[in-house]
């Protein structure tokens, strides 16, 4: 894990936020490569939810939330973690994360009784700060989806079953943020609220668990590191009839990557009752207004990025051309997720090679067939540039050498096998596209 965190900083994936001022706990920034990786992942989710299905619509709602919404949803009362204080060193901890009921900082067992600590952040809205004009920063995207239920139904004429997908920031004032980007205070979520007829909810719940498991494998997460956890009744959130968590073997243990909850009609009914707005849908088969049940697959983008990086990180012993054994670090990311799809590398910085390499780069960066970020790199030796591209997970490098000037061909070098193939410039774009897909 330490090596991965160091790589994330060195290569520009993830930085501690405001590091020059000592940081802010539980907050991270995504650098030039991190933002690409994150965007690729979010796009893959959006594509599979909104574009590849005809029963899901998208939404992008506000972060600041009317307190009434989170009062009616039950979050004001129950969105809490049990907090304990250590009487010896005054540190604070989540009671359910303690080992052997001892303070992780000083080891003392002199702890206060656990008390509920609400995880929602509040902020003042408008120029008067008198304690009444506040809003919450949403702790999940879901509530904004529920309050928009009628707007989406009325504007799209949907019938059951159908879903609303949303990707966006959510905030939780975690007592002990930790394990890099696993538990943070500002995160991004990818949440689907899938509305179904009551009575079909259990079937749809199973459907979404299976669907999400296979989606994670498609993104390159190893199947053997995934597991399911049927959350026992006493651990269920207040709105849930049943929840299956998709677990991933993180370096610090088997932990939740995504929760798939059967939220019943709890939220829609609560908001209907409190707002007076009818949040039901007309079912033309039974001629009745139905308040649907909701199946919610909800995952954190940050946790997903961590799982993908952990899974992709590899170290290999290789023998260099000079016979020396060295360690090659590589990120075996799926090409669809890799921040850089192709790197164009002239063998050396040279007045004859540079124009050709630049023109290859220009074609590839605009290519719809490649459809992603292409980098040009001519600094340092070719070996070091290959190592750098391996470390950031670039699946393919294109090397332009002196022979290219005569034979109009270049070399494609593959990250995982280090295999090199000579291809004509005429077919380069389609050859690369084919390799990226295979
Ligand atoms: P945990 O038990 O780990 O605190 P949770 O059960 O509270 O998680 P949910 O409310 O189900 O989490 O949120 C859905 C998803 O959002 C989680 O599966 C996780 O991927 C992500 N998530 C939740 N809290 C955080 C956090 N503090 N930092 C990063 N991601 C988070």
pLDDT for 132 beyond 80 = no
Q: What are phi and psi for residue 73, nearest 5 degrees?
A: -75, -10
**Residue 381 CA to ligand 1 centre (angstroms):** 44
pLDDT for 250 beyond 90 = yes
**Residue 174 CA to ligand 1 centre (angstroms):** 10
Cβ-based neighbour number of residue 335 at 10 Å: 19
- Whole-number Å distance between alpha carbons of 414 and 396: 5
Q: What pLDDT shows up at residue 178?
A: 87
Q: Which atom of ligand 1 is nearest to the CA of 185?
A: 27
Share of residues in the chain with pLDDT > 70 (%): 100
Average pLDDT, the chain: 95
Mutate-to-test residue for ligand 1 from 28, 256, 294, 307, highest number of ligand atoms within 8 A of CB: 256
Q: What pLDDT shows up at residue 130?
A: 78
Token pair in block for residue 43: 């796009």
- Whole-number Å distance between alpha carbons of 98 and 113: 13
**Residue 192 CA to ligand 1 centre (angstroms):** 14
Q: What pLDDT shows up at residue 319?
A: 87
For atom 26 of ligand 1, the residue with the nearest CA is: 183
- Whole-number Å distance between alpha carbons of 152 and 172: 27
The string of pLDDT tens digits covering residues 350-385 is: 999 999 999 999 999 999 999 999 999 999 899 999
C-beta of residue 347 within 8 angstroms of C-beta of residue 411: no
Q: What pLDDT shows up at residue 254?
A: 97
Closest CA to 311 of 14, 34, 4: 4
- Whole-number Å distance between alpha carbons of 261 and 245: 8
Q: Which residues form ligand 1's pocket by a CB distance below 6 Å?
A: 172, 174, 183-184, 187, 189, 256-259, 298-300, 302-303
pLDDT for 284 beyond 90 = no
For atom 4 of ligand 1, the residue with the nearest CA is: 183
Mean pLDDT of 59-65: 98
Share of residues in the chain with pLDDT > 90 (%): 91
**CA torsion angle 412 356 390 340 (round to 10):** -100
For atom 23 of ligand 1, the residue with the nearest CA is: 300
Q: Which atom of ligand 1 is nearest to the CA of 139?
A: 10
Q: What pLDDT shows up at residue 233?
A: 96
Cα–Cα distances in angstroms (integers) from residue 349 to residues 140, 358, 389, 424, in the given order = 50, 11, 18, 22
Model confidence, pTM: 0.94
The string of pLDDT tens digits covering residues 10-26 is: 999 999 999 999 999 99
Q: Which atom of ligand 1 is nearest to the CA of 245?
A: 18
Mean pLDDT of 168-196: 96
**Residue 338 CA to ligand 1 centre (angstroms):** 24
**Residue 188 CA to ligand 1 centre (angstroms):** 10
Q: What pLDDT shows up at residue 286?
A: 87
Cα–Cα distances in angstroms (integers) from residue 95 to residues 168, 239, 417, in the given order = 29, 23, 47
Q: What pLDDT shows up at residue 157?
A: 84
Q: What pLDDT shows up at residue 116?
A: 92
**Residue 28 CA to ligand 1 centre (angstroms):** 16
For atom 18 of ligand 1, the residue with the nearest CA is: 258
Token pair in block for residue 296: 């919610």
Mean pLDDT of 202-219: 97
Residues 6+ positions from 302 with CB-CB distance below 8 Å = 28, 181, 182, 184, 187, 188
Residues 6+ positions from 350 with CB-CB distance below 8 Å = none
**Residue 300 CA to ligand 1 centre (angstroms):** 6
For atom 3 of ligand 1, the residue with the nearest CA is: 256
Which sign does the torsion angle of CA 238, 239, 245, 246 carry?
negative
Q: What pLDDT shows up at residue 285?
A: 85
Q: What pLDDT shows up at residue 430?
A: 97
Q: Which atom of ligand 1 is nearest to the CA of 174?
A: 27
**Residue 302 CA to ligand 1 centre (angstroms):** 10
- Whole-number Å distance between alpha carbons of 267 and 264: 8
For atom 2 of ligand 1, the residue with the nearest CA is: 256
- Whole-number Å distance between alpha carbons of 394 and 416: 10
Q: What pLDDT shows up at residue 323?
A: 86
User: Sorting pLDDT into bands at 50, 70 and 90, what band is 163?
Assistant: very high
pLDDT for 62 beyond 80 = yes
Q: What pLDDT shows up at residue 57?
A: 98
Mean pLDDT of 36-45: 98
Residues 6+ positions from 151 with CB-CB distance below 8 Å = none
- Whole-number Å distance between alpha carbons of 314 and 281: 50
- Whole-number Å distance between alpha carbons of 240 and 233: 9
Closest CA to 70 of 279, 271, 298, 294: 271
Cα–Cα distances in angstroms (integers) from residue 364 to residues 39, 315, 343, 386, 427, in the given order = 20, 29, 9, 18, 12
**Residue 171 CA to ligand 1 centre (angstroms):** 10
C-beta of residue 106 within 8 angstroms of C-beta of residue 86: yes
């Amino acid at each position: 894990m330490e090596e991965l965190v160091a790589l994330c900083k060195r290569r520009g994936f993830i930085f501690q936020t405001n590091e020059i001022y000592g940081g802010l706990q539980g907050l991270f920034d995504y650098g030039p490569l991190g933002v690409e990786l994150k965007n690729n992942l979010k796009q893959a989710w959006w594509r599979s939810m909104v574009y590849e299905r005809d029963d899901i619509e998208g939404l992008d709602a506000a972060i600041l939330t009317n307190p009434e919404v989170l009062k009616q949803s039950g979050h004001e009362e129950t969105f809490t973690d049990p907090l304990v204080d250590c009487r010896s060193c005054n540190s604070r901890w989540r009671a359910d994360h303690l080992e052997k009921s001892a303070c992780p900082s000083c080891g003392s067992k002199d702890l206060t009784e656990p008390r509920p600590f609400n995880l929602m952040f509040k902020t003042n809205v408008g120029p008067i700060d008198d304690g009444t004009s506040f809003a919450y920063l949403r702790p999940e995207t879901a509530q904004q989806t529920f309050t928009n239920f009628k707007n989406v139904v009325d504007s799209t004429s949907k019938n059951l079953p159908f879903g609303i997908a949303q990707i966006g920031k959510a905030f939780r004032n975690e007592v002990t943020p930790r394990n890099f980007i696993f538990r943070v205070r500002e995160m991004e979520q990818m949440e689907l609220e899938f509305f179904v007829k009551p009575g079909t909810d259990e079937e749809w719940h199973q459907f979404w668990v299976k669907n999400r498991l296979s989606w994670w494998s498609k993104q390159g997460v190893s199947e053997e590191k995934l597991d399911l956890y049927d959350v026992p009744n006493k651990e269920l959130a207040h709105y849930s009839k049943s929840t299956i968590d998709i677990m991933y073997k993180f370096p610090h243990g088997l932990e939740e990557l995504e929760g798939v909850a059967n939220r019943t009609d709890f939220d829609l009914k609560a908001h209907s009752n409190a707002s007076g707005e009818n949040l039901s849908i007309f079912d033309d088969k039974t001629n009745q207004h139905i308040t649907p049940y909701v199946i919610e697959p909800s995952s954190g983008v940050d946790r997903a990025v961590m799982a993908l990086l952990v899974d992709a990180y590899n170290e290999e012993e290789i023998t260099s051309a000079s016979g020396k054994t060295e360690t090659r670090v590589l990120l075996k990311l799926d090409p669809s997720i890799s921040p850089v799809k192709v790197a164009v590398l002239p063998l050396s910085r040279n007045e004859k090679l540079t124009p050709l390499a630049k023109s290859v780069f220009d074609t590839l960066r605009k290519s719809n067939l490649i459809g992603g970020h292409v980098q040009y790199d001519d600094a340092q030796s070719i070996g070091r540039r290959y190592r750098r591209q391996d470390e950031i997970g670039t699946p393919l490098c294109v090397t332009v050498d002196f022979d290219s000037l005569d034979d109009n061909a270049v070399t494609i070098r593959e990250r995982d096998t280090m295999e090199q193939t000579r291809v004509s410039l005429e077919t380069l774009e389609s050859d690369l596209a084919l390799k990226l897909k295979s």
